[in-house]
Every structure is written in structure tokens, then in C-alpha cells.
Amino acid sequence: MSLRLLLICLLALLTPLSPATTPPEVRIGVLSHRGDEATLKNWSPTADYLSREIPEYRFVIVPLNFREIEPAVRDQTVDFLLVNPGIYVNMEVRYRITRIATLNNLLNGQPLNIFGGVIFTRADNDAIRELEQIRGQRFMAVDRTSLGGFEMAWQALSGVGIDPNEDTRLSFGGTHDAVVRAVLEGRADAGTVRTGILEAMTIDGASPLDRVRVLGERWSDEHPFHHSTRLYPEWPFSKLQHTTNRLARRVAIALLRMSSLEPAAQWGDYAGWTIPLEYQPVHDLLKELHLPPYDQPEQFTLADAIRKYWYWLLTALAFLAVMAVMTTWVARLNRALERSKGLLERQHNLILDSVGDGIYGVDLQGNATFFNRAAEAITGWKAQDLIGQNQHEKLHHTHADGTPHLPEECPVYHTFRDGQPRFVQEDLFWRKDGSSFPVEYSSTPLRDEKGHIVGSVVVFRDISTRKKAEEAARQYQAELAHVARLSTMGEMASGMAHELNQPLTAIATNADACIRLLEADPDARDRIIDVLETIGTQSRRAGSIIQQLRQFVRKEEPQLTWVDINQLIEEVLMLVQPEIDRAGIGVVRDLEPNLARVRAQRIQIDQVILNLVRNAIEAMNDSRVTTRSLTLRTRNQDGHSVLVSVEDTGPGLDESVRDKLFDPFVTSKPQGMGLGLSISLGIIDAHKGKLYYDGGTEGAIFRFIIPVSQSDAS
């Protein structure tokens, strides 16, 4: 055989022994939380299973500790990943890996695809009986990135207000077993591991379960193992982004088909695989704890805000629209109110200015707050001169007698104090030029809406003209009365002459008698003395009649004196004695002995009595009157006034004069002037008294009442 043939035969023999191509390697990264050796031991049979099921590939297990996982995924040094759900969610978010199956774990012979965390302490540690008591204690977890070995417990603890990072002395054991041992050996006060670890472990031939106390234990039908946290889906088997879907699908099918009796499952201590579960709860947990990948605040764009809060935005916009409408409406209303206010103010000022009386306002400090046009015209002050100034100092500072008018006596200030309106009939105000004028004024309190006094309004009127008119009327009245007295005297002149004649005749006769007596008997001394006494008496009588007459006709000064009315009556009777005698009238005097004196103008009251008495005499002069009696009565009344009655037995009032008795020029007498009663009424009125006709069954009764002092008049 040639060498060439030998080589061909050799090649033919070797060919079936060495494969034509080596199947490509598929690397499955597995979280090695219990050490690489254990990981390879547990998971290599699963890789072999897959290699068998998918012979085109050779599957190998790559154990990765917590820190090696991310670089492996990032650098695509593995094609599939079998890690806990927390790491999976991170890798899913960052490197878009996709779960294709979820592990059906076997815990103490039970298939379970959910798991949780258990928090525990040593059974003999009496200091920690509740989760809350972990605060401040040495707390050990597996690894900061371990879901079941830390993060689940963190969430459970934050539920009772404990942040294990801040509130405990936190340490990490690296593996579940290390945590269990540390707690049992007293190197940690409490610890946390994933569910099933405590049940599966044996330490020194005994289950650690007997030596631990589970804290915050929860119960679930789906998960009959000790746990202190919520439950989450088991480990996912996931494909990396670069791994083909075809391969992934074949791996998924192979995994789902795996029976729990498969040696791979038994080596891995699991029951098989299920379709991939929902890992959203894990996302939620990481979000809640602000853990990667949710440790950075999310970029929240305006669009996101609108999408998320559109209903709030809509409500806010609707609210703003309503507010805008309301604001416009309120603004319009405001403008209308402003206009009305301006109008009212103008009207108010117009009214104030159109009033003839002076009006000004005063605040509680006594300063003027407004001053109307009439007030300006009357006082000569301008509103701007007085507003804000003390009105009392400007207008009201001095009394008529020149003494200062103190503010505390000012009625305007009294109004502030007692809140009572006041009316002052006569006072004095001062003009800007220093002259004064008489005023009547009112001061009315001004109150705010709560009823508190905030000032007062003073309304005043210059009463100079009225006072002048009153004075003129008074003078006119006095003149009239004087004229009437002269006229009365004229009427009485003949009677008077007769009255005077009597004493004068008696004087003359008696003087003659004296002369004769002296001629006949120079020693007739005693008789002459008698006659001279008669002469003296008669001449005194004549003198007093003349005195009365003079007094009656003289013009009286307008001053008041204390007058005894009983005495006036006697004087009047003396004047009219001749008429009384001629008419044959009997005079009855019913005079109050202790009659009060009255403050009056003597001649005027004299005149009233004379008028009434003469009217009575004239009424009784009627030939039909048979009984002729004149009664004059005086009485004290209530101690404050005096009542005077003149009563006659004449025919009484004539019908024609009854209704207008006191009007001037009303008379029933042919020679009468009809002024007597009207003048008398004026006099009594001026004395604040009252003159009236009081009827009478027979004849007429006239009465007048006059106050003792005019300040007693009511």
C-alpha cells in the first residue's frame, strides 16, 4: 500500500472520532450567591440538559458574584442570565434583557415560583421581639443588591418606620449562610435571608430554625415558608439583547419542557420552569426604595406633566377662566360703584351747599371735618382754612360778655360725651374778621356703623335778623301799649278831673273855713288844726292821683322788677274809682294775702289789669244790668305762678266778638278801638304767661296767669 493510500485510510478512520465542527458555546451567567463551586454544582446539569436538548450549542455555566453581573451583561460576555429578580429588573431597564422563563423553585420538596425574605433574630435574644426593636441593633443582610437577602427586608422595615441604612448598624454577610451563621453566633443581632434558606440549612446537623425567632412574620397560602416580607416572583431566566430570538425560543421551550424528575432539576434543587411571571412588583419595590435603576429622579418633561396631570390642569384652567370672568365682573361692578359713589358725593356736597344753614362736621379731637358753603358765607372762613383745625378755637372761643368760652363747656363737646343731640337757642359765633353774630345751633352725634360716636354735625343759623325783628316787634308793642295808655287816659280824663276836683274843692273850702275861723276867733286853735289836717289829707290824695297818672302814661324802660300784683290792683282801682262810682258798681276784692311777687314790667301788667277792669265796668254800664259787681281775685298757683281773675256781672261776651276776641280792632263798642285785649295778650305772652276768657254763667270772667319768674315758665 502506498503512503498516500495509507494516509487516506488513516483519515477515514479518524474522521468519526473528531467532530467536523465544535458547537458554539452559549454562556449562562448565574448569580453565585452561595459560592462559585456550589453554583457550578447546582447549575451545570441544567446547562448540560440544554446542550442535550439543543445540540447545536454547548451551554456552559458562568458563575457571577453580585459585582460581576453588570460588567458581564454590559460586555456581553454571557448570552443568558439567571439572577434574582432585583438584578434582573436592573438589567432589564439598563440593558434591555428579556425574561423567557421563571424558575419553579423547590423548597422542602414543594415547587414554588414566588419567594420573599425572612427577618430573624436569635431565639434567645429577648431584646428583639418585634421588627421595630431592630432599630439601633446590628443588622446583617446578604448583599446590598440582594433582593430576597436585603431589599425585601428594607421595604418591610420601612413599613414600620425603620430605614436599615440609617437606623440600624447594617452589615452584609455576602451569602445567605453567612448571615444565618452570624446571627446564630451572636455577631449580628438580627439578619435577613431569602425564604427557604432557614428551612433548607443545617448547621452542626441541626436546622437553624429551632434557634431563631422570625420577626414580623406574615402568612400566605401560596407560600408556606417563614417570611417577613411581601412575596415576589422567583428568579427569571433571561436572554441578553444580543442573543437571537430563535435560540431564546428554543431555550425557553426546553426549559418549560423540563420535568421535575430531570437530573438537572434535581441537581439544581428546583422543580422546573414556568412561563415568565410579571416582574412589576419588583419594579415597584425598587421605585419605592429609590434603588437602581430608580435611584435617579426621572426626567419629567412638560408633556409628561400634562399627560399625568391633565385633569388637574383642566380644572385649574377652568378655575382660572371662572376667576377671570369673576374678576372682570367685579372690576366692572367696582367701576359702577365708584361712579355711584362719586355721584352720591357730588349730590351730598350739592345738598350741603344748597342749604341756607351753616353745616360743619367735627371729629372727636374737635377738628372740623367738612364745612359747607353757607358756613363759609356766614363766618367768612374758607373750608380749607378750617378743615383739620379746631373749630371751637376759631368759631366759638368767647362769650358775649367777653369771657373765654372754655371747650369743656362747649355743647358740641358734651355731645361727644353723652351722645345726646343738643339744640342751643341763642349763642355767639365769631367770624374770621373778629366780629361776632348771634346764632342758634344744633349739635347731633355722628356714629359709625357699629354705633360708636365718631364726631358730630353742627347746623347753625345766624339769628341777627330775627333778633332785630324781635326787638322791633317788642318796641312796636311797647309803643302801641303806650299809645293805648294815653288813649285810655284820654277816655278817663273827665272822670279823673272829677276825682281831682273833689279833694281840690275840699282843700279850697277848708282853707276858707280856716280863714273864717281865724277871723272869728283867733284862739280857735284846735279846730283850725283839724281843718288843716283835712286839707293835708285831701291834697295828698290829689297828689297820689296825679302820681298814678304820671306813672301810667310814662314810657317804661324794658326792665323787669319784682311786682306785687295786689298792689297794682289797688292802684288801678284808684284810677277807675270815678267810673266805678258813676256806674254804681260794687267792688269785691278777693286778694291772696301772701301773693307771690312776680318778675314783670310793672306798667304793662298795670295796663292789662286796667284794660280788663275797664272792659268789665263798660260791660256793666249797660242799662239792662241790674246787679253790678266787679270781683278781683288773686291766687298763688303751684308756687310758680300767680293767677289773676277779673269777673263782672255784665251781659257776657257779644256773639260777634266771641271767636276773635283777642284779634286787634275787634270791638262791639261804638267808640271802641278793639285794641285792649290784643295788647293785653301781647303783654302777657311776652311775660311767658297766659291770658284767656274763662266764660262765666253770669257776666264775663277774664283770667291771666303769670309766672313768678320767667325762667319758671313752662
Going by C-alpha positions, the residue among 684, 676, 686 that lies closest to residue 706 is 684
Among 35, 292, 380, 674, binds ligand ADP (CB under 6 A): 674
Place of cell 256793666: 620
Interface with ligand ADP, residue 492, by CB under 6 A = no
Q: Counting contacts by CB under 6 A, is residue 480 touching ligand ADP?
A: no
Count the Cβ atoms, other than its own, within 10 Å of residue 112: 21
Q: How far is the CB of 436 from ligand ADP (least distance, A)?
A: 42
Answer for which of 94, 341, 468, 669 binds ligand ADP (CB under 6 A) is 669
Alpha carbon of 553 to those of 35, 575, 580, 618: distances in Å?
A: 153, 12, 21, 21
- Is the peptide bond between 407 and the residue preceding it cis, with omega within 30 degrees of 0? no
Which is closer to ligand ADP, CB of 55 or CB of 670?
A: 670
Residue 471 CB neighbours (<10 A):
11
Find out whether 150 and 176 touch, Cβ atoms under 8 Å: no
Q: Does 648 bind ligand ADP (CB under 6 A)?
A: yes
Our finding on whether 677 is near ligand ADP (CB under 6 A) is: yes
Q: Is 488 an interacting residue with respect to ligand ADP (CB under 6 A)?
A: no
Does 544 help bind ligand ADP (rule: CB under 6 A)? no
Q: Does 583 bind ligand ADP (CB under 6 A)?
A: no
- Taking the least distance from each CB to ligand ADP, the nearer of 184 and 701 is 701
501 sits in which H/E element: helix 464-520
Q: Specify the amino acid at residue 93.
A: V
For cell 435574644, the residue is: 125
Instruction: Report which of 671, 677, 631 is spatially closest to residue 657, judged by C-alpha positions.
Output: 677
Among 480, 672, 690, 698, binds ligand ADP (CB under 6 A): 672
Q: How many positions of this chain bind ligand ADP (CB under 6 A)?
A: 23
Q: Are the C-beta atoms of residues 76 and 97 closer than 8 Å to each other? A: no
Q: How far is the CB of 484 from ligand ADP (least distance, A)?
A: 9
The answer to the question of residue 407 lying near ligand ADP (CB under 6 A) is no
Residue 609 touches ligand ADP, criterion: CB under 6 A? no
Q: Contact between 696 and ligand ADP (CB under 6 A)?
A: no
Does 499 sit near ligand ADP (CB under 6 A)?
A: no
Taking a C-beta distance cutoff of 8 angstroms, is the pair 542, 504 a contact? yes
**SS3 label, residue 377:** helix
694 binds ligand ADP (CB under 6 A): no
For ligand ADP, which is the closer residue by CB, 641 or 645? Answer: 645
Q: Is 683 in the site for ligand ADP (CB under 6 A)?
A: no
Cβ closest to ligand ADP, residue 64 vs residue 616: 616
Q: Which of these ranges, 212-220, 222-230, 600-608, 664-672, lies near ligand ADP under the rule CB under 6 A?
A: 664-672
Q: What angle do CA 601, 603, 604 make, to 5 degrees?
A: 65
What mask, x for binding ligand ADP by CB under 6 A, covers residues 617 to 646?
--x---------------------------
Q: Which residue has the cell 324802660?
A: 557
CB contact set of 643 (below 8 Å; sequence gap of 6+): 633, 634, 635, 636, 637, 703, 704, 705
- Asked if 549 interacts with ligand ADP (CB under 6 A), we say no
**How far is it, in rounded angstroms, from Cα 277 to Cα 629?**
143
622, 654, 685, 694: residue in contact with ligand ADP (rule CB under 6 A): 654
Question: Judged by CB under 6 A, does residue 276 bind ligand ADP?
Answer: no
* One-character DSSP codes across 240-291: -TTS-HHHHHHHHHHHHH--TTSHHHHHHTEEEEES----HHHHHHHHHTT-
Q: Would you say 468 or 669 has its CB closer to ligand ADP? A: 669
> Least distance to ligand ADP from the beta carbon of 592, Å?
22
Sign of CA dihedral 505, 511, 512, 516: positive
Among 653, 688, 690, 703, which residue sits at the site for ligand ADP (rule: CB under 6 A)?
653
User: In the structure, how many helices (H) and strands (E) does the chain have?
Assistant: 22, 26
Closest CB to ligand ADP: residue number: 676
- Is 666 a binding residue for ligand ADP by CB under 6 A? The answer is yes
Nearest partner of 669 among 611, 627, 626, 630, judged by Cα? 611
Nearer to ligand ADP, 142 or 625 (CB): 625
- What is the chain's Cα-based Rg? 68
471 lies in the site for ligand ADP, by CB under 6 A? no
| Nearer to ligand ADP (CB atom), residue 82 or residue 666 | 666
Instruction: Decide: is 346 part of the binding site for ligand ADP (CB under 6 A).
Output: no
Chosen residue from 355, 383, 553, 661 binding ligand ADP by CB under 6 A = 661
Q: Which of residues 174-213 bind ligand ADP (CB under 6 A)?
A: none
10 Å CB burial of residue 329 (0-12, 13-18, 19+) is: exposed
Cell of 544: 297820689
- Name the segment binding ligand ADP (CB under 6 A); options: 166-174, 265-273, 548-556, 615-623: 615-623
Please, what is the minimum distance in Å from the beta carbon of residue 465 to ligand ADP? 31
From 167-175, 223-231, 651-659, 681-689, span contacting ligand ADP (CB under 6 A)? 651-659
Question: Which parts of this chain interact with ligand ADP (CB under 6 A)?
Answer: 611, 615-616, 619, 648, 650, 652-654, 657, 661, 666-669, 672-678, 700
